[in-house]
Amino acid sequence: MGIEIAEAFEPARALIAAAGEPVATTLARGRAFEHTSSLQPALTAVALGATAALRELGVRPDVVLGHSLGELAAWSATGAVHAAAAVRLAAARGRAMQSQASRLPSGGMLALQECTLSDVSEALVAGRACGELSIAAQNTKREWVLSGDAPALRAAARRIARSCRSVRLPVSGPWHARSMAAAAPAFEIALQETLGCGAAGQNLVPMICNATADVAPPQRIPRLLTKQLAAPVRWVGSMRRLVRLGVTDVVTPGPGKALRHHLRRAHPEVRVHACTTPDDVRRIAAGFAS
């Protein structure tokens, strides 16, 4: 994950090195990510490594957005914070979330597929009778994610078993549940320390934030990043806003197919470009470099 691009492009290689030994060693060894505290800085480093490689070849975004953790990489891509600082923030975010998860009863996340709003409402009612349960995200019109206590997730899955498919996600905590609000103070301290050390520059690129599904004023972005820890990811609205801004092509740097799936399903008129290999970087640069 990310190693091929780092080997091919010096800016990506420098960022992986600047991210520190834990990230570099984990990526090099290809070890499984058992905890979000190690996963978050690694994913952020990989996404920003690919972004750095694109920038070296002249690709500049017109607008950025990220899904959940991806907002840190998006924020760095606006020019507001250095990439290495964004990776450190991702590590702080992961530690804060993992620490809070360790204090909670066993919990996790449940993906609902081909579900109506009525199905989701029924799942929430059934789950909340057994514990805490929240909407963590709406990724497409019929794809949702719930987050909360394990008994609540089981009750929700049973309630809608006949009407839609549900899948437990391989995560180590109930991310975006209301109980994650207790992780916000530690992350906010890390954010303020980063800003206090000096930003990379002015926000030159607009950013759509998960919490509002709209372009955020630069000065509000840190607060919205903190709020997002315990709030739903408004991804359907964020994608809709992206299209209304006139975006015709979207580049997704880093591993995974989920975001490309969401975009293609919700907005097939938008061209989506994966950026996971050196060949991807070169192909995208040939089409979009300024």
Mean pLDDT of the chain: 90
Average pLDDT over residues 211-217: 96
Distance CA 248, CA 145 (A): 27
Are residues 188 and 152 both part of a single domain? no
Are residues 201 and 89 both part of a single domain? yes
Condensed to tens digits (0 to 9), the pLDDT of residues 58-95 reads: 999 999 999 999 999 999 999 999 999 999 999 999 99
Q: What percent of the chain has pLDDT over 70?
A: 92
Distance CA 21, CA 37 (A): 14
166: containing domain: 105-172
User: In terms of pLDDT, which residue wins out, 227 or 35?
Assistant: 227
Task: CATH number of the domain at 201, please.
Answer: 3.40.366.10
Are residues 113 and 32 both part of a single domain? no
Average pLDDT over residues 184-205: 81
Helices (H), 208-257: 221-227, 235-244
Distance CA 187, CA 180 (A): 11
pLDDT confidence tier of residue 7, bands split at 50, 70 and 90: confident
- pTM of the full predicted structure? 0.92
CB atoms within 10 A of CB 181: 14
Task: CATH number of the domain at 117, please.
Answer: 3.30.70.250
Residue 28 pLDDT: 67
Are residues 115 and 168 both part of a single domain? yes
Q: In what order do the strands lie in the sheet with 107-113?
A: 133-140, 143-149, 107-113, 165-168
Are residues 94 and 109 both part of a single domain? no
- Checking if the pLDDT of 204 tops 90, the result is no
Average pLDDT over residues 136-159: 96
Are residues 83 and 137 both part of a single domain? no
Residue 202 neighbours by CB under 8 Å, 6+ apart: 79, 80, 218
